[in-house]
Amino acid sequence: MARASRKQSIPVWAAEAGPHAEFVVSTRVRLARNFEGYPFAHLLSDEQRDQIWKRLLESLGQSEDFSTCQFSPLAKLPRRERLKLVEEHMLSPHMERPAPGAGMILSPEKDLAIMINEEDHLRIQIILPGLQLERGWERAEALDCRLEEVAAFAFHNDLGYLTACPTNLGTGMRASVMLHLPGLILNGQMGNLIGVLYGNDVMVRGFYGEGTRVHGNIFQLSNQKTLGRSESAILDELHKVTLQVIEKERTARKVLMAENRVSLENDVRRSLGIILYASAVSFEEALELLSMVRLGSEVGILGAEVRDFNLALTALGDAHLQRVARGETPEGEIDRRRADLLRTFVEER
Amino acid sequence: MARASRKQSIPVWAAEAGPHAEFVVSTRVRLARNFEGYPFAHLLSDEQRDQIWKRLLESLGQSEDFSTCQFSPLAKLPRRERLKLVEEHMLSPHMERPAPGAGMILSPEKDLAIMINEEDHLRIQIILPGLQLERGWERAEALDCRLEEVAAFAFHNDLGYLTACPTNLGTGMRASVMLHLPGLILNGQMGNLIGVLYGNDVMVRGFYGEGTRVHGNIFQLSNQKTLGRSESAILDELHKVTLQVIEKERTARKVLMAENRVSLENDVRRSLGIILYASAVSFEEALELLSMVRLGSEVGILGAEVRDFNLALTALGDAHLQRVARGETPEGEIDRRRADLLRTFVEER
Which chain A residue's Cα is nearest to B304? A277
Residues A226 and A110 in one domain: yes
- Quote the percentage of chain B above a pLDDT of 70: 95
The pLDDT of residue A65 is above 70: yes
Residues B225 and B344 in one domain: no
Element (H, E) at A276: helix A231-277
Separation between Cα atoms, residue B38 and residue A72, nearest integer Å = 96
pLDDT in tens, B105-130: 999 999 999 999 999 999 999 999 99
Residues B88 and B127 in one domain: yes
The three-class DSSP label of residue A317 is: coil
Of the partner residues B266, B276, B278, the one whose CB lies closest to the CB of residue A280: B266
pLDDT in tens, A132-161: 999 999 999 999 999 999 899 999 999 999
Separation between Cα atoms, residue A175 and residue A29, nearest integer Å = 4
What residues in B contact A332, CB-CB < 8 Å? 262-263
Q: Mean pLDDT across the stretch A218-246?
A: 96
What residues in B contact A276, CB-CB < 8 Å? 273, 276-277
Residues A213 and A342 in one domain: no
Residues B145 and B19 in one domain: yes
The pLDDT of residue B23 is above 80: yes
Residue A3 confidence (pLDDT):
41
Residue A326 confidence (pLDDT):
56
B127: phi then psi, degrees, rounded to nearest 5: -125, 120
Max mean pLDDT range (A89-93, A286-290, B54-58, B197-201): A286-290
What residues in A contact B265, CB-CB < 8 Å? 279
pLDDT in tens, A72-125: 999 888 888 899 999 999 988 877 778 888 999 999 999 999 999 999 999 999
Which parts of A132-291 are beta strand (E)? 155-156, 160-161, 173-180, 202-205, 218-223
A274 touches chain B (CB under 8 A): yes
Query: A116, A306, A286: which is closest to A216 by C-alpha?
Result: A286
Q: Mean pLDDT across the stretch B53-61?
A: 91
CB A217 within 8 A of CB A185: yes
Element (H, E) at A94: none
The total number of structural domains in chain B stands at 2
Which chain A residue's Cα is nearest to B266? A279
**Domain-located, residue B206:** yes
Contacts of A113 (CB under 8 A, 6+ apart): A90, A91, A104, A105, A106, A107, A125, A127
**Domain-located, residue A150:** yes
What residues in A contact B261, CB-CB < 8 Å? none
Distance from CA of B270 to the nearest CA of A (A): 5
**Domain-located, residue B241:** yes
B279: phi then psi, degrees, rounded to nearest 5: -105, -5
Residues A228 and A343 in one domain: no
Q: Mean pLDDT across the stretch B147-174?
A: 94
pLDDT in tens, B230-274: 999 999 999 999 999 999 999 999 999 999 999 999 999 999 999
Q: With cut-offs at 50, 70 and 90, classify the pLDDT of residue B97.
A: confident
Residue B8 confidence (pLDDT):
59
Q: What share of chain A is helix, strand, coil (3-state, %, to 5)?
A: 45, 20, 35
CB pairs under 8 A between A and B: 55
Query: A161, A323, A187: which is closest to A248 by C-alpha?
Result: A187
Query: A208, A217, A213: which is closest to A291 by C-alpha?
Result: A217
Q: How many residues does chain A have?
A: 349
The pLDDT of residue B328 is above 80: no
Give Cα separations from B283 to A68, A179, B122 (angstroms). Answer: 61, 38, 31
What residues in B contact A273, CB-CB < 8 Å? 270, 272-278
Q: Which of A194-203, B46-55, B91-100, B183-192 has the lowest mean pLDDT?
A: B91-100
**Domain-located, residue B1:** no
Separation between Cα atoms, residue A266 and residue B157, nearest integer Å = 62
The pLDDT of residue A238 is above 50: yes
Q: Mean pLDDT across the stretch A315-344?
A: 86
Of the partner residues A274, A277, A332, the one whose CB lies closest to the CB of residue B262: A332
Residues A197 and A284 in one domain: no
Q: How many residues does chain B have?
A: 349
Residue A303 confidence (pLDDT):
85
Q: With cut-offs at 50, 70 and 90, classify the pLDDT of residue B65.
A: confident
Separation between Cα atoms, residue B264 and residue B280, nearest integer Å = 24
The pLDDT of residue B219 is above 70: yes
What is the widest separation between alpha-carbon atoms in chain A?
A: 64
- Identify residue B28 by its one-letter amino acid code: R
Name residue A31's beta-bridge partners: A124, A173
Domain boundary among B250, B285, B316: B250
**Domain-located, residue A5:** no
Q: Which of A11-25, A279-293, A315-329, B184-198 has the lowest mean pLDDT?
A: A315-329
**Domain-located, residue B104:** yes
Query: In sequence order, which ranges of B8-99 are alpha helices (DSSP H)?
Result: 12-15, 46-61, 79-87
CB A305 within 8 A of CB A317: no
Which chain B residue's Cα is nearest to A260? B332
Name residue B170's beta-bridge partners: B161
Q: Mean pLDDT across the stretch A25-50?
A: 94
Contacts of B25 (CB under 8 A, 6+ apart): B13, B129, B130, B178, B179, B180, B218, B309, B310, B313
**Domain-located, residue A2:** no
Residues A306 and A273 in one domain: yes
Domain boundary among B224, B250, B276: B250
Residue A6 confidence (pLDDT):
38
Domain residues for the domain of A319 are: 260-348
Residue B327 confidence (pLDDT):
61
CATH of the domain at B18: 3.30.590.10
Residues A118 and A162 in one domain: yes
Name residue A173's beta-bridge partners: A31
Q: Mean pLDDT across the stretch A284-303?
A: 95
Domain boundary among B230, B250, B270: B250
B302 dihedral zone (left: phi>0; alpha: psi -120 to 50; beta): beta
Residues A153 and A37 in one domain: yes
User: Judging by beta carbons within 10 Å of its beta carbon (0-12, 13-18, 19+), is residue A225 exposed, middle or buried?
Assistant: middle
B272 touches chain A (CB under 8 A): yes
Q: Mean pLDDT across the stretch A231-245?
A: 97
A15 touches chain B (CB under 8 A): no
**Domain-located, residue B25:** yes
The pLDDT of residue A296 is above 70: yes
Determine the number of helices (DSSP H) and then strands (DSSP E) in chain A: 11, 13
The three-class DSSP label of residue B279 is: coil
- Identify residue B334 by its one-letter amino acid code: I
Of the partner residues A262, A272, A339, the one whose CB lies closest to the CB of residue B277: A272
The answer for A 277-316 residues in CB contact with B (under 8 A) is 277-280
Query: In sequence order, which ranges of chain B are alpha helices (DSSP H)?
Result: 12-15, 46-61, 79-87, 133-148, 182-186, 190-199, 231-259, 261-277, 283-298, 309-315, 318-321, 333-344
- Identify residue A59 by its one-letter amino acid code: S
Q: Which of A172-176, A199-203, A294-298, B218-222 has the lowest mean pLDDT?
A: A199-203
- Identify residue A298 by its one-letter amino acid code: E
Give Cα separations from A211 to A74, A98, A206, A207 (angstroms). Answer: 23, 19, 7, 9
B323: phi then psi, degrees, rounded to nearest 5: -100, -25
Contacts of B15 (CB under 8 A, 6+ apart): B129, B310, B311
Residues B179 and B296 in one domain: no
Residues A150 and A120 in one domain: yes
CB B83 within 8 A of CB B319: yes
Name residue A122's beta-bridge partners: A33, A116
Q: Which residues of A12-25 are buried (b: 16+ CB within 10 A; e: fewer)?
A: bbbebebebbebbb
